[in-house]
Structure 1
Amino acid sequence: MSVKVNITSKGIQKVLKNYNEKQAIAEYIWNGFDANANTVRVDYVTNPLGLLAQLTIADNGYGINFDRLQQKFDPFFESEKSIQIVTPKHTSKMHGRNGVGRLTFFTFAHDAVWHTTYQSEKRFRHGEIYINTGGLNSYSYDFSTVPSNTGETGTSVSFTNLKISQQDIEETVIPFLINEFCWFIELNKHKNYSIIVNGVALDFSSNVKTIEEFSLFYPDTAVTFKIKYVHWKENLHKELSKYYFLAGGEEIYKDYTTLNKKSDDYFHSVYIDSDFFRDFDFKSFENEGQVAIFGAAKSSAEYRFLIKALTEYLKSKRKPFLKEYANRLIETYEEDEIFPVYATEREKELRKPVLVDLIKVLYEVEPKLFSNLNTDQKKTFVRLIDLLMHSNLRDEIFEMFNGMIELEAEERDELSKLIKGPEEAKK
């Protein structure tokens, strides 16, 4: 049977124009995990020219129920507005953009065929669904095929007439998948979640910089929080840095950490497991006097203790990282000739070390000051600092930076010494 809908195939591609092949392949994997799969297999075959002859993404999830087929496919074809991509904010469940991933194969292939097995009330049933790039606004299906006797549910999507190569998969897609799913596989490690490419499980440890495990204990109510901290080497795409609150290994809620979006490339995830979260009310908040009717809330003493301790812990982990990156910043500024050229070697010896130290401290305190600047803006910013430091307005310079960025006592003292000099800073 064939079904056609209102929006045109070009309209669908227009709405999904920001997708590329690696993001699209990731969406099919997310769809598998959304269907309660714990294993997703990506298999491909290449031709003598190194191009992909076939690509298959298979999962062991619950399959696509024929009786709900229209609910699964039709809503995304009704209008351009209906295919808007929404990422879940406070849970990792249903991460696959509400099924929109089914349409993104046009970025890397011409034809897609779904082979799915699901369990109906009386038996296992099998069916097939077909879509091609030329007709993204229509799909055909056949659920009259022989019922499955395997007793196993799941969905396999096969793509043909592909536009990508083995090199694309190995050098672009696989590194993308590691960064996309590393936090999620870690979240579900106790369930043995895996992504297997041509028979080999992806090694997500390649994106791990540091892993630490410890416990926090709140003595007043004898509550224990088991913590796993992961510092990632590279960014987590749209996931960013988050706290994951679990009870018995099951995710209850997630939210951004206090050091998320600091423009410093400090990518991290913190997994917090405790029975304390079983009846926790994450959504009520946050008036001081508010009390949850059932269980605890964010205003509870235990939660405040936890977040305060983790914030201090993350700050301690971030400091050496920022020092390392501050040194890298100076190296790149040297290579790109950002620093001013001084009239004499003597002048350079007197002014440049102070300027370099100040830039390092400013970066460590607020990396955002140095983000998203082009070469001319970097030169202007650095040379303005140098000129101000050379002037007799050091008190004014300190007050300017002190007002621009939030400083802790230790940071304030260090900045004051650099700008005013040790003796003046004591006054």
Structure 2
Amino acid sequence: MTTPQERTTGITNASIKKRFGSIPAWKMLSEYIWNGLDAGASDIDVIINTCDLGGVESIEIHDNGEGIDFHNLDRNFDNWDDSSKKQVTQKGSQGRGRYSFHKYAATATWLTRRQSENARITIDSSRIKTYKVELIDDKEQHSSILSNGSGTSVFLTGITSEKSQKIPNIENIMEELSNEFGWKLIVFSNLKISVNRVRVTPPQHRLFQELIDVDGNIFSSSIIQWIKKPSGEKSYNYFRDSKEHQKYRNLTGFNYKNNFFISGYIQSEWFDNFQDTSSPNADLFISEKSDGNKVLAMLLKELRNKTAEIYQGFLRERAVQLVDSFEEKGYFPVYNWESDEDRSFRIAHTKKLVTSICVADPAAFNGLKAKQTKIIIGLLDRLSTSSENDSLIDILEGVLDLNKEQMDEFASQISKSKLDYIISTIGHIHKRDLVVQKMKYLFKEHAKEVLETPDLQGIIEANTWLFGPQYTTIGAEEDDFSNTARNLRNSDIEILDGDDISTSDLIEGATIEGAKGQVDLFLARKMVTIDHSTQEEFIKCTIIEIKRPSVALNKKHLAQAERYAEVLDKHPAFNDERMRFDVVLVGTKISQNDTQITRRLKDLAGKGGAGLVSGADERIRVYVKSWSTIFNDFEVTHSALLQKLKIKRSELEYKSKQTLVDELQIPLSEAS
């Protein structure tokens, strides 16, 4: 131990204290942590000692760095606004941080060990410009420093109760330190900072690491996307040499853009002799490796490209989240007039379109009310699928705040979205057309073999879309409606009388005995939909009765369907004015001897959809359809697309009855 030596900083006590102003406790602690990091520490522990009443009595900061160079104090402690640490923006390079203690404590004491020598440095806040330094032996040294071989421990004592009240709880301090040192903890996984033995963890983030090769020079790049806005300075790229000294920094160009928070940390030995010409420490004779160097320019371009990729991914992810929230709030068209499968296609297409717009201009839907958002999405949907869809780009180009490069990217996204929709739609119709061709071939070539119920029932249940987009499959929640409708039909004597089979009801070649071995199929569905003429919701009820294959439809079956419509109209469960019914009667063919069905079809043509035979202006309508008209309706509706598809129908001719039945009983969503 030696006699304490008193030394003085080249500035007055008042000047030192005046330069600090107000400083939060965590910021004061961070100054000592940064000093430890600048000294090469990999393990820093902050100890906050409290009294029985919970107030802070003293604070300790321990590190395992290289220790203070106490033999050359003229290069560090003697200086104010200067330090031996000359690297650009190295946190301790201004020599101020060690004085921050005076805002909370009366005394700061440093125990340090460097190159097997120990020293103690003491500063009293009442005489802050003066400090004492003395060499000490091992027994006066802190045990953790001795076990580490080097390091520094700072003890802040004399914290009054008044000052103690300004120090927040440990959880708050750890959160602030997490924001301050998060990037260090992420980039250097071996670094440990703790408070009262509890490790500080970095804030939520995403880390993108890779090696960048520029003209044979290898740069280790760590780009961090912060989930929340970090504390401190703007969004920079930081460039460090092989000893992890910061040599240069530049703005990323994405300074908190659309809540996108990014920092880049690039390390390479290429920066060992780098000279930042903007630094006040710049030499008159600038090194070849300056901030105007070609290698640096290429590196910055590569970093901009990589950051832009991360930014685009961020925008797309955020756009998807926004669009999903729009869907949850009911902003998208419901497409109730479409089948379940068609509805899925339309929703997916519109979601992709809106997502592309949100990626191109994240503020496009900002500030809009729910009704405005619904209107815009509805218009985008209609325009994108109409014959005028090419004008969509022109309209949006005049509205969105995009440069040419961004507009080209957006146009590419819109085109891809449209192409995806067209391809999926054509593929969807292709599958349905194949089903129609198989069924036509089945009825033509295997009519006598396919008359048994299991065959036809399986086919119908897998392809109920044949009867119109408003009907797909029955859901579990519709069982009550289906059972009620079925029981109502089977409890009416007049309706049941229509089930009796006579010779005049049969198609050519069928027998009464064979017909009695079959049963009629009954399908029902209830769903909420929208009247597009009034924009009002109503309950659409569809009931389909498929007569057994051996029966040709005639006036008896028409009367049976109309009687069923009367029963529905009078039943208490179904007399709600918001309920509208379609009763659809389907058969193999309409009897050649029948005139009533044919006349009704002719009289009501064009008044309520194909096959309408009664109730054109009523809430309950009755339809009669044969399989041939169902097939023809499909082909007429999709003729333009079907011509382009050029489906090879001839391939069906070699298939057996069983092969066709097996294929047709698989729902399209499961078919390959």
TM-score bracket, shorter-length normalisation: 0.5 to 0.7
Contact 1:24 1:105 in 2 (8 A): no
The whole-number CA distance in structure 2 between the counterparts of 1:153 and 1:410 is 54
**What residue identity is the alignment partner of 1:399?**
G
The whole-number CA distance in structure 2 between the counterparts of 1:69 and 1:386 is 72
Match of 1:33 among 37, 40, 47: 37
Flag the 1:298–1:130 CA change in 2: closer, same or farther, 3 A. Answer: closer
Query: What's 2:397 paired with?
Result: 398
Q: Equivalent residues in 2 for 1:17-416 (5 A)? A: 17=22, 19-59=23-63, 60=65, 62-63=67-68, 65=70, 68=73, 72=77, 75=80, 91-95=88-92, 98-100=95-97, 102-103=99-100, 106=103, 109=104, 111-117=105-111, 124-131=118-125, 138-139=127-128, 143=132, 147-149=136-138, 150=141, 152=150, 154-159=152-157, 160-161=159-160, 162-163=164-165, 168-170=169-171, 172-188=172-188, 192-204=190-202, 207-213=204-210, 215-218=211-214, 221-256=215-250, 258-283=252-277, 294-297=287-290, 300-328=293-321, 361=356, 363-365=358-360, 367=362, 369=363, 378-379=367-368, 395=394, 398-402=397-401, 407=406, 409-414=408-413
The whole-number CA distance in structure 2 between the counterparts of 1:55 and 1:250 is 29
Measured against aligned partners, the alpha-carbon deviations of 1:299-320 in whole angstroms (never above 9, x if no partner) come to: 5554444333332222222222
Contact 1:31 1:96 in 2 (8 A): no
172-181 vs 256-265, which moves further: 256-265
The whole-number CA distance in structure 2 between the counterparts of 1:90 and 1:140 is 25
Flag the 1:89–1:404 CA change in 2: closer, same or farther, 3 A. Answer: farther
Contact 2:360 2:402 in 1 (8 A): no
Flag the 1:120–1:354 CA change in 2: closer, same or farther, 3 A. Answer: closer
**Bigger RCO (CA 8 Å, 6+ sep):** 1
How far 1:199 sits from its partner (Å)?
A: 2.7
How far 1:415 sits from its partner (Å)?
A: 7.1
Flag the 1:61–1:130 CA change in 2: closer, same or farther, 3 A. Answer: farther
After TM superposition, where is structure 1 displaced by more than 6 Å over at least 4 residues in a row? 1-4, 119-123, 330-335, 353-359, 384-387, 389-394, 415-418
Secondary structure of 1:407's partner?
helix
Query: What's 2:21 paired with?
Result: 16
Contact 1:402 1:412 in 2 (8 A): no
Q: How many residues align?
A: 369
**What residue identity is the alignment partner of 2:165?**
K
How far 1:42 sits from its partner (Å)?
A: 0.2
How far 1:158 sits from its partner (Å)?
A: 1.8
The whole-number CA distance in structure 1 between the counterparts of 2:115 and 2:252 is 47
Measured against aligned partners, the alpha-carbon deviations of 1:68-114 in whole angstroms (never above 9, x if no partner) come to: 589848858xxxxx9xxxxx9994513576415633663xx4x2421
Structure 1 vs Structure 2 CA RMSD = 5.3
Secondary structure of 1:250's partner?
coil
Contact 1:116 1:153 in 2 (8 A): no
Measured against aligned partners, the alpha-carbon deviations of 1:354-381 in whole angstroms (never above 9, x if no partner) come to: 99988755653455x58xx9xxx9359x
Contact 1:21 1:105 in 2 (8 A): no
The whole-number CA distance in structure 1 between the counterparts of 2:403 and 2:294 is 32
Could you tell me the TM-score, scaled by structure 1's length?
A: 0.63
**What residue identity is the alignment partner of 1:364?**
V
The whole-number CA distance in structure 2 between the counterparts of 1:4 and 1:313 is 49
Secondary structure of 2:220's partner?
strand
Secondary structure of 2:67's partner?
coil
Flag the 1:402–1:413 CA change in 2: closer, same or farther, 3 A. Answer: farther
Q: Which has the larger radius of gyration?
A: 2
How far 1:294 sits from its partner (Å)?
A: 4.4
Contact 2:111 2:154 in 1 (8 A): no
The whole-number CA distance in structure 2 between the counterparts of 1:209 and 1:181 is 15
**What residue identity is the alignment partner of 1:163?**
Q
Contact 1:126 1:148 in 2 (8 A): no
Confirm whether residue 5 of structure 1 aligns to residue 13 of structure 2. Answer: yes
Flag the 1:102–1:281 CA change in 2: closer, same or farther, 3 A. Answer: closer
Gaps of 5+ in 1: 77-81, 83-87, 285-291, 346-352, 423-427
Query: What's 2:497 paired with?
Result: none
Measured against aligned partners, the alpha-carbon deviations of 1:278-325 in whole angstroms (never above 9, x if no partner) come to: 4445538xxxxxxx9743455555444433333222222222222222
Flag the 1:27–1:6 CA change in 2: closer, same or farther, 3 A. Answer: closer
Flag the 1:297–1:31 CA change in 2: closer, same or farther, 3 A. Answer: closer
Secondary structure of 1:212's partner?
strand
Contact 1:365 1:407 in 2 (8 A): yes
Flag the 1:282–1:75 CA change in 2: closer, same or farther, 3 A. Answer: closer
Task: Give the fraction of aligned pairs with identical amino acids, expressed as a percent.
Answer: 18
How far 1:39 sits from its partner (Å)?
A: 3.5
How far 1:269 sits from its partner (Å)?
A: 3.6
The whole-number CA distance in structure 2 between the counterparts of 1:141 and 1:317 is 51
Contact 1:66 1:143 in 2 (8 A): no
The whole-number CA distance in structure 1 between the counterparts of 2:209 and 2:120 is 45
Flag the 1:302–1:64 CA change in 2: closer, same or farther, 3 A. Answer: closer
Contact 2:241 2:270 in 1 (8 A): yes
Measured against aligned partners, the alpha-carbon deviations of 1:147-173 in whole angstroms (never above 9, x if no partner) come to: 3445855241324332267x7212x11
**What residue identity is the alignment partner of 2:13?**
V
The whole-number CA distance in structure 1 between the counterparts of 2:250 and 2:318 is 22
**What residue identity is the alignment partner of 1:25?**
L
The whole-number CA distance in structure 1 between the counterparts of 2:271 and 2:399 is 44
Flag the 1:104–1:55 CA change in 2: closer, same or farther, 3 A. Answer: closer
Could you tell me the TM-score, scaled by structure 2's length?
A: 0.43
Secondary structure of 1:261's partner?
coil
The whole-number CA distance in structure 1 between the counterparts of 2:374 and 2:86 is 40
Secondary structure of 1:196's partner?
strand
The whole-number CA distance in structure 1 between the counterparts of 2:136 and 2:177 is 34
Flag the 1:104–1:322 CA change in 2: closer, same or farther, 3 A. Answer: farther
Contact 2:239 2:248 in 1 (8 A): yes
Flag the 1:176–1:89 CA change in 2: closer, same or farther, 3 A. Answer: farther
Contact 2:46 2:60 in 1 (8 A): yes
Contact 2:118 2:135 in 1 (8 A): no
How far 1:43 sits from its partner (Å)?
A: 0.6
Secondary structure of 1:316's partner?
helix
